[in-house]
Structure 1
Amino acid sequence: MSITTSPFPIPALHPSIAAALAAQERPVVVIGGGGWMGQAILHMIGCSAETSDLPSRLHVFGSAARTMPLPGGRSVEVRPLSELGDLRVEAPLVLHLAFLTKDKVDGLSPDAYERGNAAIADTVAGWLETVRPAGLVLPSSGAVYGAMGNAALSNPYGALKLKDEDRFTALAERRGFRVAIGRVFNLSGPFMNKLPLYALGSILAALIDGRPVVLRAPHNVVRAYTHVGDALNLMIAEALAPGDGASLFDVAGLEPVEVGELARRCAALLGRIGIPIERPPHDPGREDRYLGDPAPWRRLAGRHGITLSPLDAQILDTAAYVAALPPDERRAA
């Protein structure tokens, strides 16, 4: 049951998770509420009838204080991360979603980028020394695989994600709580930000605006998508499962697709097959594959009774969100 008036579909909080949060009156702490996954989980919670009282138990932190609107005329207050240390709650579910993202790497020196992320991690880890959560959700990235060994210097984003994985795993083992670490590859669904940075977002924005779809890579680019709602539901389910220490897995889409085929598929689903898809001449000499291992992801979904969204449904959900944005936001990087 949903209580949303959103112009685009809001992912549903899985019934077992909603029931667990409602029955145990568990506090929920969302760190990084303004990002893609942060906005998604706040709307999922806010639109669930089972958790209609949860806003009184919801604690949200971000880079600055603000009020975030939710569907149905409700809102949630976001407090600055610097105030996290003042929070005292019993056995919360914690979603640590705060991280300086890949697009910040080019705008900062390596030292400044590392210091910025270290400050976030220090704040969250310091607070976790004072509370024992019921579970911790820590999204990581498929970029960690490219940062292992000697490649860390050329991949600071992946290297710092890997450092966070190690740090919060050790903390969970020492403090006796469970952390679900999902290495995210390619997400879809509402609240996607900075559309031009993502193949799916830029394709859909162009199609919705009636512009030519411009694919810049001459070589094959292969991706597989996971709906942001599926990713959050499954990571939360793993975080709340019995046991402590780390549950580490890839958040990996089940259906690989080359971006040229993705563009044609989006155009067909949106009824925009007449819009040109432009691309340089094909270069068969290389291929860009950014894919996780879907087998553990599929097993976890089965274990928790979560039905994963097929690619067509993911495309349509993402398109509905993109279409609801103002035209200037569809072009904004």
Structure 2
Amino acid sequence: MKSVVTGGAGFIGSHLTERLLDAGDDVVVLDNLSTGASRNLESIVDHPRLTLRRGDILDAAAVADACDGADRIFHLAAAVGVNVIVDHPLDSMRTNIHGTETVLEAARVAGAKLLLTSTSEVYGKNTADALAEDSDRILGSPLKSRWTYAAAKGIDEAFAHAYWQQFGLEVAIVRLFNTVGPRQTGRYGMVVPNLIGQALRGAPMTVFGDGAQTRCFSYVTDVVPAIIAIAEHPDAYGQAFNLGGAQEVSILNLAKRIKQLLGSQSEIVLVPYEAAYATGFEDMRRRVPDNSRAHSLVGFKPATSLDDIILNVAASMQSALIPPAARVMAPGA
């Protein structure tokens, strides 16, 4: 089985790549290393069934070359993180829309199955108790970058569904809800590694807004097996599946729990959105997944508690304080 992972040097992509290799796949990773990092693949860089290619999903030739002969493609490459989306809206839209279309076309030509990773951001400001896959999308102004990202990811899904309808491409979609774990960096605005890093350093723990906004965090090693199982299930094609955590927590209470678990002396500081992001930034007040569709299809049930997520991420960050020399991914390697 030949699997291609776009964005395979990223946080989730690297965990997925490891899992596929363990299952016996030949794996090609295509990544431009804009948000991914070679060090994420350090433990498997010399694996005989792994091929690393440095390339961009906007480069049709590079994508076609990586996907040639593939049985299945896991499309994770995207513009990710609040900071990237807010600071570089045009690049984010181009990557997420045109890049996804390029990968879909390469999958069609190769005759490969495709798993598209999307995001809970597509639900926008819908604050329902549990967001199901057919829940309404409530988006703000298209002139605000937060909602252009949500719109772009929705277009990604529409492209994928159209390829399934028009060409019979075997494509499934997963919507990820705040997936966290080792190798995730706070550099791009991810809240859990940001808060844990601040707590470990004894720095002020910054919570944006009033901290009452809630999320459900899922652990990467719970999510990755479900991604693979959905990709392999014939009843998944043409559908979207939520994959998220089971425990709802406010960001302020998350910060308090991190501080308590890690024995940190850091002060928790509320920071207005306008001091952290561009004028007019909007946040989602609540985001809770209904995982019943994924549970019914592949038995998905998040097993890692919030406390264990915090402790595991903290342990990973502490062990990486003095990282080994990162290997450099050679173009076309």
Instruction: Identify the match of residue 117 of structure 1 among 96, 103, 110.
Output: 96
Instruction: Identify the match of residue 94 of structure 1 among 58, 65, 73.
Output: 73
Instruction: Identify the match of residue 259 of structure 1 among 251, 254, 269.
Output: 251
SS at match of 1:38: helix
Establish whether residue 71 from structure 1 lines up as the match of residue 43 from structure 2.
Answer: yes
Cα 1:316/1:70, change in 2 over 3 Å: same
Q: 1:195-210, aligned counterparts within 5 Å?
A: 195=187, 197-210=189-202
Establish whether residue 31 from structure 1 lines up as the match of residue 6 from structure 2.
Answer: yes
- The residue that corresponds to 1:277 in the other structure is 268
- The residue that corresponds to 2:122 in the other structure is 144
Deviations 1:295-328 (CA, angstroms, capped at 9, x unpaired): xx14523642444222222222222222223379
1:249 offset after TM fit, Å?
A: 2.6
TM-score by length of 1: 0.74
Instruction: Identify the match of residue 30 of structure 2 among 61, 65, 69.
Output: 61
Instruction: Give the letter for the 1:145 counterpart.
Output: Y
SS at match of 1:84: helix
Distance 1:210 1:305 in 2: 40
SS at match of 2:159: helix
- The residue that corresponds to 1:312 in the other structure is 307
1:161 offset after TM fit, Å?
A: 0.3
TM-score by length of 2: 0.74
Distance 1:306 1:250 in 2: 10
Deviations 1:225-280 (CA, angstroms, capped at 9, x unpaired): 0112222221221121123632213223211111222122223333x154433347
1:292 offset after TM fit, Å?
A: 3.2
Distance 1:205 1:124 in 2: 35
Instruction: Give the letter for the 1:93 counterpart.
Output: R
Distance 2:169 2:245 in 1: 28
Cα 1:321/1:172, change in 2 over 3 Å: farther
Percent same amino acid at aligned positions?
23
Cα 1:303/1:310, change in 2 over 3 Å: farther
Mean CA deviation greater in 71-80 or 97-106: 71-80
Does the 8 Å contact 2:202/2:266 carry over to 1? yes
Cα 1:246/1:259, change in 2 over 3 Å: same
SS at match of 1:243: helix
SS at match of 2:171: strand
1:129 offset after TM fit, Å?
A: 2.1
Does the 8 Å contact 1:67/1:78 carry over to 2? no
Distance 2:28 2:224 in 1: 17
Cα 1:64/1:273, change in 2 over 3 Å: closer
Does the 8 Å contact 2:202/2:265 carry over to 1? no
- The residue that corresponds to 2:206 in the other structure is 214
Cα 1:168/1:304, change in 2 over 3 Å: same
Deviations 1:145-198 (CA, angstroms, capped at 9, x unpaired): 227567444311111100000001111233334333222231111221234612
5+ residue gaps, structure 1, are 1-25, 329-333
Deviations 1:1-46 (CA, angstroms, capped at 9, x unpaired): xxxxxxxxxxxxxxxxxxxxxxxxx111101122222122123334
Instruction: Give the letter for the 1:71 counterpart.
Output: S
Instruction: Identify the match of residue 326 of structure 1 among 321, 324, 329.
Output: 321
Distance 1:216 1:266 in 2: 16
CA RMSD of aligned residues (A): 3.1
Cα 1:165/1:263, change in 2 over 3 Å: same
Distance 2:265 2:14 in 1: 34
Does the 8 Å contact 1:252/1:291 carry over to 2? no
Cα 1:190/1:301, change in 2 over 3 Å: farther
Instruction: Give the letter for the 1:137 counterpart.
Output: L
